[in-house]
Protein backbone atom coordinates (compact mmCIF):
# COMPACT_ATOMS: atom_id res chain seq x y z
CA UNK A 1 0.00 0.00 0.00
CA UNK A 2 1.57 3.29 -1.14
CA UNK A 3 0.46 6.59 0.36
CA UNK A 4 0.87 9.08 -2.52
CA UNK A 5 -0.74 12.48 -1.96
CA UNK A 6 -1.21 15.77 -3.83
CA UNK A 7 0.59 18.89 -2.60
CA UNK A 8 0.72 22.64 -3.18
CA UNK A 9 3.77 23.07 -5.39
CA UNK A 10 5.80 26.23 -5.60
CA UNK A 11 6.33 26.77 -9.34
CA UNK A 12 7.89 29.30 -11.69
CA UNK A 13 5.48 31.49 -13.61
CA UNK A 14 4.61 30.24 -17.07
CA UNK A 15 6.75 32.87 -18.80
CA UNK A 16 9.90 32.02 -16.83
CA UNK A 17 9.81 28.25 -16.34
CA UNK A 18 12.13 27.58 -19.29
CA UNK A 19 14.66 30.00 -17.82
CA UNK A 20 14.39 28.66 -14.27
CA UNK A 21 14.57 24.91 -14.99
CA UNK A 22 18.06 23.45 -14.57
CA UNK A 23 19.76 20.09 -14.68
CA UNK A 24 21.38 18.76 -11.53
CA UNK A 25 24.27 20.99 -10.46
CA UNK A 26 26.89 18.24 -10.89
CA UNK A 27 25.92 17.55 -14.50
CA UNK A 28 27.29 20.90 -15.72
CA UNK A 29 30.93 21.55 -16.46
CA UNK A 30 32.46 24.55 -14.71
CA UNK A 31 32.31 26.52 -17.96
CA UNK A 32 28.65 25.64 -18.52
CA UNK A 33 27.69 26.69 -15.00
CA UNK A 34 29.51 29.99 -15.31
CA UNK A 35 27.84 30.75 -18.64
CA UNK A 36 24.36 30.07 -17.28
CA UNK A 37 24.97 32.03 -14.10
CA UNK A 38 26.35 34.94 -16.10
CA UNK A 39 23.71 35.03 -18.82
CA UNK A 40 20.52 33.86 -17.12
CA UNK A 41 19.46 35.67 -13.92
CA UNK A 42 16.44 33.35 -13.53
CA UNK A 43 18.32 30.03 -13.57
CA UNK A 44 17.75 27.76 -10.57
CA UNK A 45 21.54 27.51 -10.46
CA UNK A 46 21.56 30.94 -8.79
CA UNK A 47 19.71 29.38 -5.86
CA UNK A 48 21.91 26.30 -5.45
CA UNK A 49 25.12 28.26 -6.12
CA UNK A 50 24.53 31.38 -4.02
CA UNK A 51 28.24 32.21 -3.77
CA UNK A 52 28.18 33.44 -7.37
CA UNK A 53 26.57 36.65 -6.18
CA UNK A 54 29.62 37.33 -4.01
CA UNK A 55 32.18 35.90 -6.43
CA UNK A 56 33.16 33.42 -3.73
CA UNK A 57 33.03 29.67 -3.14
CA UNK A 58 30.84 29.01 -0.10
CA UNK A 59 30.23 25.60 1.47
CA UNK A 60 28.63 23.91 4.45
CA UNK A 61 26.01 25.50 6.64
CA UNK A 62 26.83 28.99 5.35
CA UNK A 63 25.95 27.87 1.83
CA UNK A 64 22.72 26.22 2.97
CA UNK A 65 21.57 29.46 4.59
CA UNK A 66 22.35 31.45 1.46
CA UNK A 67 20.49 28.91 -0.68
CA UNK A 68 17.43 29.55 1.44
CA UNK A 69 17.91 33.32 1.06
CA UNK A 70 18.17 33.09 -2.73
CA UNK A 71 15.06 30.90 -2.82
CA UNK A 72 13.10 33.40 -0.72
CA UNK A 73 14.24 36.18 -3.04
CA UNK A 74 12.87 34.29 -6.05
CA UNK A 75 9.53 34.03 -4.22
CA UNK A 76 9.58 37.69 -3.20
CA UNK A 77 10.26 38.73 -6.80
CA UNK A 78 7.31 36.68 -8.06
CA UNK A 79 9.48 34.25 -10.03
CA UNK A 80 8.05 31.44 -7.88
CA UNK A 81 4.37 31.26 -6.89
CA UNK A 82 2.68 28.59 -4.76
CA UNK A 83 -0.51 26.88 -5.89
CA UNK A 84 -3.59 27.62 -3.78
CA UNK A 85 -4.75 24.01 -3.42
CA UNK A 86 -3.09 20.59 -3.37
CA UNK A 87 -2.66 19.10 -6.85
CA UNK A 88 -1.19 16.16 -8.64
CA UNK A 89 0.99 17.25 -11.54
CA UNK A 90 0.91 15.21 -14.73
CA UNK A 91 4.35 15.55 -16.27
CA UNK A 92 5.54 14.48 -19.72
CA UNK A 93 9.03 14.52 -21.19
CA UNK A 94 9.74 13.89 -24.86
CA UNK A 95 13.46 13.43 -25.38
CA UNK A 96 15.46 14.24 -28.47
CA UNK A 97 15.08 10.65 -29.73
CA UNK A 98 11.29 11.00 -29.52
CA UNK A 99 10.83 8.71 -26.52
CA UNK A 100 8.01 9.78 -24.19
CA UNK A 101 7.90 9.56 -20.40
CA UNK A 102 4.51 10.15 -18.75
CA UNK A 103 3.91 10.27 -15.02
CA UNK A 104 2.68 12.14 -11.98
CA UNK A 105 4.56 14.42 -9.63
CA UNK A 106 3.25 13.93 -6.10
CA UNK A 107 4.34 13.55 -2.48
CA UNK A 108 5.41 10.07 -1.32
CA UNK A 109 5.38 8.92 2.28
CA UNK A 110 8.56 8.67 4.35
CA UNK A 111 6.78 6.05 6.46
CA UNK A 112 6.29 3.95 3.32
CA UNK A 113 10.05 4.20 2.80
CA UNK A 114 10.57 2.94 6.36
CA UNK A 115 8.04 0.10 5.98
CA UNK A 116 9.39 -1.01 2.59
CA UNK A 117 6.22 -0.13 0.70
CA UNK A 118 8.71 1.97 -1.26
CA UNK A 119 11.38 -0.55 -2.16
CA UNK A 120 15.10 0.11 -2.67
CA UNK A 121 17.61 -1.69 -4.84
CA UNK A 122 20.77 0.36 -4.29
CA UNK A 123 23.05 0.97 -1.31
CA UNK A 124 23.56 4.51 -0.08
CA UNK A 125 26.50 6.18 1.64
CA UNK A 126 25.67 7.25 5.20
CA UNK A 127 27.58 10.53 5.27
CA UNK A 128 25.97 11.66 2.00
CA UNK A 129 22.54 10.95 3.46
CA UNK A 130 23.32 13.10 6.52
CA UNK A 131 24.85 15.96 4.49
CA UNK A 132 21.80 16.24 2.26
CA UNK A 133 19.44 15.84 5.22
CA UNK A 134 21.14 18.82 6.92
CA UNK A 135 20.83 20.77 3.68
CA UNK A 136 17.10 20.02 3.43
CA UNK A 137 16.53 20.95 7.07
CA UNK A 138 18.09 24.37 6.52
CA UNK A 139 16.61 25.30 3.15
CA UNK A 140 13.12 23.92 3.85
CA UNK A 141 12.34 22.74 0.32
CA UNK A 142 13.02 20.02 -2.21
CA UNK A 143 13.33 20.98 -5.86
CA UNK A 144 14.21 17.69 -7.58
CA UNK A 145 11.77 14.76 -7.42
CA UNK A 146 12.83 11.22 -6.64
CA UNK A 147 12.01 8.93 -9.56
CA UNK A 148 9.62 6.15 -8.50
CA UNK A 149 8.09 3.46 -10.69
CA UNK A 150 4.88 1.48 -10.35
CA UNK A 151 3.19 -1.41 -12.23
CA UNK A 152 1.31 -0.21 -15.30
CA UNK A 153 -2.18 0.86 -14.25
CA UNK A 154 -5.10 1.46 -16.63
CA UNK A 155 -6.92 3.91 -14.36
CA UNK A 156 -3.88 6.14 -13.84
CA UNK A 157 -3.01 5.89 -17.55
CA UNK A 158 -6.51 7.11 -18.46
CA UNK A 159 -6.27 10.02 -16.00
CA UNK A 160 -2.91 11.04 -17.46
CA UNK A 161 -4.23 10.93 -21.01
CA UNK A 162 -7.35 12.93 -20.11
CA UNK A 163 -5.25 15.61 -18.40
CA UNK A 164 -3.07 15.86 -21.49
CA UNK A 165 -6.06 16.67 -23.70
CA UNK A 166 -6.05 20.18 -22.21
CA UNK A 167 -3.54 22.94 -22.77
CA UNK A 168 -0.40 22.32 -20.74
CA UNK A 169 0.33 24.71 -17.90
CA UNK A 170 4.01 24.45 -18.84
CA UNK A 171 5.57 23.57 -22.19
CA UNK A 172 9.24 24.24 -22.80
CA UNK A 173 12.17 22.76 -24.68
CA UNK A 174 15.67 22.62 -23.24
CA UNK A 175 18.97 23.15 -25.00
CA UNK A 176 19.28 19.34 -24.86
CA UNK A 177 16.17 19.28 -27.10
CA UNK A 178 14.02 17.57 -24.51
CA UNK A 179 10.48 18.99 -24.33
CA UNK A 180 8.74 19.16 -20.95
CA UNK A 181 4.99 19.49 -20.28
CA UNK A 182 3.05 19.92 -17.03
CA UNK A 183 -0.69 19.76 -16.30
CA UNK A 184 -2.49 20.32 -12.99
CA UNK A 185 -4.93 17.69 -11.67
CA UNK A 186 -6.99 19.31 -8.92
CA UNK A 187 -10.55 17.94 -9.09
CA UNK A 188 -11.50 16.07 -5.87
CA UNK A 189 -12.88 13.03 -7.71
CA UNK A 190 -9.74 12.53 -9.79
CA UNK A 191 -7.47 13.14 -6.81
CA UNK A 192 -9.34 10.45 -4.87
CA UNK A 193 -9.06 8.01 -7.80
CA UNK A 194 -5.29 8.47 -8.02
CA UNK A 195 -4.85 8.03 -4.28
CA UNK A 196 -6.94 4.87 -4.26
CA UNK A 197 -5.04 3.30 -7.16
CA UNK A 198 -1.70 3.81 -5.40
CA UNK A 199 -3.14 2.50 -2.13
CA UNK A 200 -4.06 -0.72 -3.92
CA UNK A 201 -0.47 -1.31 -5.04
CA UNK A 202 1.48 -3.60 -2.72
CA UNK A 203 4.69 -1.68 -3.40
CA UNK A 204 6.37 0.86 -5.63
CA UNK A 205 10.08 1.06 -6.40
CA UNK A 206 12.79 3.69 -6.32
CA UNK A 207 14.20 3.93 -9.82
CA UNK A 208 16.55 6.87 -9.26
CA UNK A 209 17.23 8.98 -6.19
CA UNK A 210 18.14 6.57 -3.40
CA UNK A 211 20.24 9.14 -1.54
CA UNK A 212 17.54 11.82 -1.79
CA UNK A 213 14.95 9.34 -0.51
CA UNK A 214 17.17 8.29 2.39
CA UNK A 215 17.91 11.92 3.30
CA UNK A 216 14.21 12.80 3.23
CA UNK A 217 13.55 9.86 5.53
CA UNK A 218 16.25 11.04 7.98
CA UNK A 219 14.73 14.53 7.88
CA UNK A 220 11.31 13.08 8.67
CA UNK A 221 12.71 11.26 11.70
CA UNK A 222 14.52 14.38 12.96
CA UNK A 223 11.51 16.66 12.62
CA UNK A 224 9.13 14.05 13.99
CA UNK A 225 11.28 13.60 17.10
CA UNK A 226 11.53 17.37 17.55
CA UNK A 227 7.76 17.89 17.30
CA UNK A 228 5.85 16.97 20.49
CA UNK A 229 2.58 17.49 18.61
CA UNK A 230 3.48 15.25 15.67
CA UNK A 231 0.33 14.04 13.88
CA UNK A 232 1.69 12.25 10.81
CA UNK A 233 0.22 14.57 8.19
CA UNK A 234 2.82 17.34 8.42
CA UNK A 235 4.63 18.21 5.20
CA UNK A 236 7.88 16.71 6.48
CA UNK A 237 6.22 13.27 6.46
CA UNK A 238 6.46 13.27 2.66
CA UNK A 239 8.96 13.89 -0.11
CA UNK A 240 8.46 14.98 -3.72
CA UNK A 241 8.49 12.20 -6.30
CA UNK A 242 7.89 11.65 -9.98
CA UNK A 243 6.00 8.39 -10.45
CA UNK A 244 6.03 6.71 -13.85
CA UNK A 245 4.76 3.30 -15.00
CA UNK A 246 7.32 0.54 -15.41
CA UNK A 247 6.82 0.44 -19.17
CA UNK A 248 7.95 4.07 -19.45
CA UNK A 249 11.19 3.51 -17.55
CA UNK A 250 14.34 3.41 -19.71
CA UNK A 251 17.32 1.63 -18.17
CA UNK A 252 20.82 2.00 -19.58
CA UNK A 253 23.92 0.23 -18.38
CA UNK A 254 26.93 1.82 -16.68
CA UNK A 255 30.18 0.66 -18.28
CA UNK A 256 33.36 0.29 -16.22
CA UNK A 257 36.76 1.93 -16.81
CA UNK A 258 39.79 0.80 -14.80
CA UNK A 259 43.27 2.26 -14.31
CA UNK A 260 46.04 -0.33 -14.27
CA UNK A 261 45.90 -4.13 -14.19
CA UNK A 262 46.73 -4.59 -10.50
CA UNK A 263 50.40 -5.22 -11.29
CA UNK A 264 49.70 -7.81 -13.97
CA UNK A 265 51.02 -7.78 -17.51
CA UNK A 266 48.49 -7.91 -20.33
CA UNK A 267 49.24 -11.60 -20.88
CA UNK A 268 48.98 -12.45 -17.15
CA UNK A 269 45.68 -10.60 -16.96
CA UNK A 270 44.22 -12.49 -19.93
CA UNK A 271 45.36 -15.83 -18.49
CA UNK A 272 43.60 -15.11 -15.17
CA UNK A 273 40.54 -13.92 -17.06
CA UNK A 274 40.44 -17.23 -18.92
CA UNK A 275 39.48 -18.97 -15.66
CA UNK A 276 36.03 -17.35 -15.75
CA UNK A 277 35.50 -16.51 -19.42
CA UNK A 278 35.85 -17.75 -22.94
CA UNK A 279 37.73 -14.92 -24.60
CA UNK A 280 37.62 -13.91 -28.26
CA UNK A 281 39.68 -11.08 -29.76
CA UNK A 282 37.34 -9.00 -31.94
CA UNK A 283 40.02 -6.67 -33.28
CA UNK A 284 39.68 -2.93 -33.84
CA UNK A 285 35.97 -2.71 -34.63
CA UNK A 286 33.89 -1.47 -31.67
CA UNK A 287 32.08 -4.41 -30.14
CA UNK A 288 29.06 -4.35 -27.83
CA UNK A 289 27.61 -7.34 -25.94
CA UNK A 290 24.10 -8.50 -26.84
CA UNK A 291 22.95 -10.60 -23.86
CA UNK A 292 23.30 -10.95 -20.09
CA UNK A 293 26.40 -12.55 -18.57
CA UNK A 294 28.31 -11.48 -21.68
CA UNK A 295 30.74 -8.55 -21.65
CA UNK A 296 32.81 -6.57 -24.08
CA UNK A 297 36.33 -5.52 -23.10
CA UNK A 298 38.69 -2.99 -24.66
CA UNK A 299 42.37 -3.46 -23.90
CA UNK A 300 45.54 -2.31 -25.64
CA UNK A 301 43.83 -1.30 -28.88
CA UNK A 302 41.62 -4.37 -29.29
CA UNK A 303 38.03 -5.27 -28.44
CA UNK A 304 37.30 -8.64 -26.84
CA UNK A 305 34.13 -10.60 -26.14
CA UNK A 306 33.90 -12.37 -22.78
CA UNK A 307 31.50 -15.31 -22.39
CA UNK A 308 30.98 -16.55 -18.84
CA UNK A 309 32.00 -20.11 -18.03
CA UNK A 310 28.92 -20.98 -16.00
CA UNK A 311 30.56 -24.04 -14.47
CA UNK A 312 32.79 -21.77 -12.36
CA UNK A 313 30.18 -19.26 -11.21
CA UNK A 314 27.05 -20.15 -9.26
CA UNK A 315 23.94 -17.97 -9.59
CA UNK A 316 22.10 -18.55 -6.32
CA UNK A 317 20.35 -15.21 -5.72
CA UNK A 318 18.72 -12.50 -7.81
CA UNK A 319 21.81 -10.36 -7.21
CA UNK A 320 24.25 -13.03 -8.40
CA UNK A 321 22.76 -12.90 -11.90
CA UNK A 322 23.13 -9.13 -12.25
CA UNK A 323 25.90 -8.33 -14.70
CA UNK A 324 27.34 -5.52 -12.57
CA UNK A 325 27.66 -7.97 -9.65
CA UNK A 326 29.01 -10.71 -11.89
CA UNK A 327 31.72 -8.42 -13.28
CA UNK A 328 32.67 -7.41 -9.75
CA UNK A 329 32.83 -10.98 -8.43
CA UNK A 330 34.77 -12.46 -11.36
CA UNK A 331 37.06 -9.66 -12.57
CA UNK A 332 37.10 -6.42 -10.64
CA UNK A 333 37.61 -7.89 -7.18
CA UNK A 334 39.57 -11.15 -7.64
CA UNK A 335 41.80 -10.12 -10.55
CA UNK A 336 42.01 -6.32 -10.51
CA UNK A 337 41.89 -6.03 -6.71
CA UNK A 338 39.05 -3.50 -6.56
CA UNK A 339 37.13 -4.20 -3.34
CA UNK A 340 35.42 -0.84 -2.77
CA UNK A 341 33.44 0.11 -5.86
CA UNK A 342 32.40 3.44 -4.38
CA UNK A 343 35.72 4.80 -3.25
CA UNK A 344 38.54 3.09 -5.19
CA UNK A 345 40.07 5.80 -7.40
CA UNK A 346 41.10 3.24 -10.01
CA UNK A 347 37.54 2.70 -11.27
CA UNK A 348 35.18 5.10 -13.00
CA UNK A 349 31.83 4.69 -14.71
CA UNK A 350 30.49 5.72 -18.11
CA UNK A 351 26.76 5.54 -18.69
CA UNK A 352 25.71 3.37 -21.58
CA UNK A 353 23.65 6.10 -23.18
CA UNK A 354 27.03 7.23 -24.41
CA UNK A 355 28.40 4.88 -27.03
CA UNK A 356 30.89 2.04 -26.49
CA UNK A 357 33.27 4.23 -28.50
CA UNK A 358 33.65 6.35 -25.34
CA UNK A 359 35.34 3.38 -23.67
CA UNK A 360 37.78 3.16 -26.57
CA UNK A 361 38.56 6.88 -26.39
CA UNK A 362 39.12 6.78 -22.62
CA UNK A 363 41.52 3.85 -22.88
CA UNK A 364 43.33 5.12 -26.00
CA UNK A 365 43.97 8.43 -24.23
CA UNK A 366 46.00 6.58 -21.60
CA UNK A 367 43.80 7.72 -18.73
CA UNK A 368 42.48 4.16 -18.31
CA UNK A 369 43.94 0.75 -19.06
CA UNK A 370 40.88 -1.40 -19.68
CA UNK A 371 37.16 -0.87 -20.19
CA UNK A 372 34.20 -3.22 -19.84
CA UNK A 373 30.80 -2.93 -21.53
CA UNK A 374 27.61 -4.78 -20.62
CA UNK A 375 23.92 -4.92 -21.46
CA UNK A 376 21.42 -2.98 -19.32
CA UNK A 377 19.71 -4.52 -16.33
CA UNK A 378 15.98 -5.10 -16.69
CA UNK A 379 13.14 -3.75 -14.58
CA UNK A 380 12.41 -7.34 -13.52
CA UNK A 381 15.98 -7.76 -12.21
CA UNK A 382 15.77 -4.46 -10.36
CA UNK A 383 12.45 -5.40 -8.74
CA UNK A 384 13.55 -8.92 -7.83
CA UNK A 385 16.67 -7.62 -6.12
CA UNK A 386 14.61 -5.04 -4.21
CA UNK A 387 11.98 -7.65 -3.26
CA UNK A 388 14.70 -9.94 -1.93
CA UNK A 389 16.09 -7.16 0.24
CA UNK A 390 19.39 -7.14 -1.66
CA UNK A 391 21.33 -4.18 -3.04
CA UNK A 392 22.95 -3.65 -6.42
CA UNK A 393 26.56 -2.49 -6.71
CA UNK A 394 26.90 1.26 -7.28
CA UNK A 395 26.33 2.52 -10.80
CA UNK A 396 24.46 -0.59 -11.90
CA UNK A 397 21.84 1.40 -13.81
CA UNK A 398 21.57 4.73 -15.60
CA UNK A 399 17.86 5.44 -15.65
CA UNK A 400 15.78 7.87 -17.66
CA UNK A 401 13.95 10.16 -17.48
CA UNK A 402 16.13 12.81 -15.88
CA UNK A 403 14.09 15.69 -14.50
CA UNK A 404 14.90 19.37 -14.24
CA UNK A 405 15.22 21.10 -10.89
CA UNK A 406 13.00 24.06 -10.05
CA UNK A 407 9.92 23.16 -12.11
CA UNK A 408 7.96 22.02 -9.06
CA UNK A 409 9.15 22.63 -5.50
CA UNK A 410 7.97 20.91 -2.33
CA UNK A 411 8.14 22.89 0.91
CA UNK A 412 8.14 21.34 4.40
Query: What CATH number should be reported for the domain holding residue 287?
Result: 3.30.1760
pTM of the model: 0.92
**Which backbone phi and psi does 276 adopt, to 5 degrees?**
-100, -20
216-238 pLDDT, tens digit each:
999 999 999 999 999 999 999 99
Mean pLDDT taken over the chain:
95
pLDDT of residue 255: 94
d(CA 315, CA 297): 22
Q: Name the pLDDT band for 369 (thresholds 50, 70, 90).
A: very high
Residues 98 and 224 both lie in one domain: yes
Same domain, 55 and 115: yes
Q: Indicate the SS3 state at residue 289.
A: coil
Structural domain contains residue 54: yes
Q: Is the pLDDT of residue 366 over 90?
A: yes
pLDDT tens per residue across span 165-210: 999 999 999 988 999 999 999 999 999 999 999 999 999 999 999 9
290 inside domain: yes
Co-location of 330 and 404 in the same domain: no
- Same domain for 179 and 101: yes
Whether 196 and 344 map to the same domain: the answer is no
pLDDT at 55: 87
Start-to-end CA span in the chain (Å): 23
**Is 384 within a domain?**
no
Q: Is 395 within a domain?
A: no
Mean pLDDT calculated for residue range 86-100? 96
Residue 388: inside a domain? no
Q: Kindly state the average pLDDT of the residues 109-121.
A: 96
> Is the residue at 390 inside a domain?
no
pLDDT digit string (tens) for 276-288?
Answer: 999 999 999 999 9
- Return the pLDDT at 1: 85
Same domain, 139 and 269: no
Give yes or no: residues 213 and 258 share one domain. Answer: no
Is 391 a member of any domain?
no
Q: Are residues 334 and 196 in the same domain?
A: no
Q: Confidence class of residue 316 from pLDDT cuts 50, 70 and 90?
A: very high
pLDDT at position 238, please? 98
The answer to whether residue 381 is domain-embedded is no
Buried b vs exposed e over 28-39: b needs ≥16 C-beta within 10 Å? beeeebeebbee
Q: Please tell me whether residues 93 and 159 are part of one structural domain.
A: yes
pLDDT digits (tens, 9 = 90+) for 382-411: 999 999 999 999 889 999 998 999 999 999
Residues 84-105: b if buried by 16+ CB within 10 A, e if exposed: eeebbbbbbbbbeeeeebbbbb
Same domain, 243 and 259: no
Give the chain's radius of gyration (CA, Å). 23
Give the number of domains in the chain: 2
Q: Are residues 200 and 342 in the same domain?
A: no
Domain that residue 346 falls in: 254-375
Identify whether residues 229 and 275 lie together within a single domain. Answer: no
Amino acid sequence: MAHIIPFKAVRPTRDKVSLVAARSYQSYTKEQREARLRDNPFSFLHIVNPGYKFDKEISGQARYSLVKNRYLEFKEEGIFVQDDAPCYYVYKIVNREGREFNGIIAAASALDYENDAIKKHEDTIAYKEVVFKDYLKTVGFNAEPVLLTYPDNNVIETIIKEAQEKRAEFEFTTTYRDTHYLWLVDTPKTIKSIQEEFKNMPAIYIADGHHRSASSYLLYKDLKDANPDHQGDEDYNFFMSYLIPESDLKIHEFNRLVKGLNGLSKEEFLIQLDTFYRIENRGKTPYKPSKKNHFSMYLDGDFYSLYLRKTVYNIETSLDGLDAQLLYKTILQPILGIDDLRNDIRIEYSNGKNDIVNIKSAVDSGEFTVGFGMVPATIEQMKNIADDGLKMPPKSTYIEPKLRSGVTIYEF
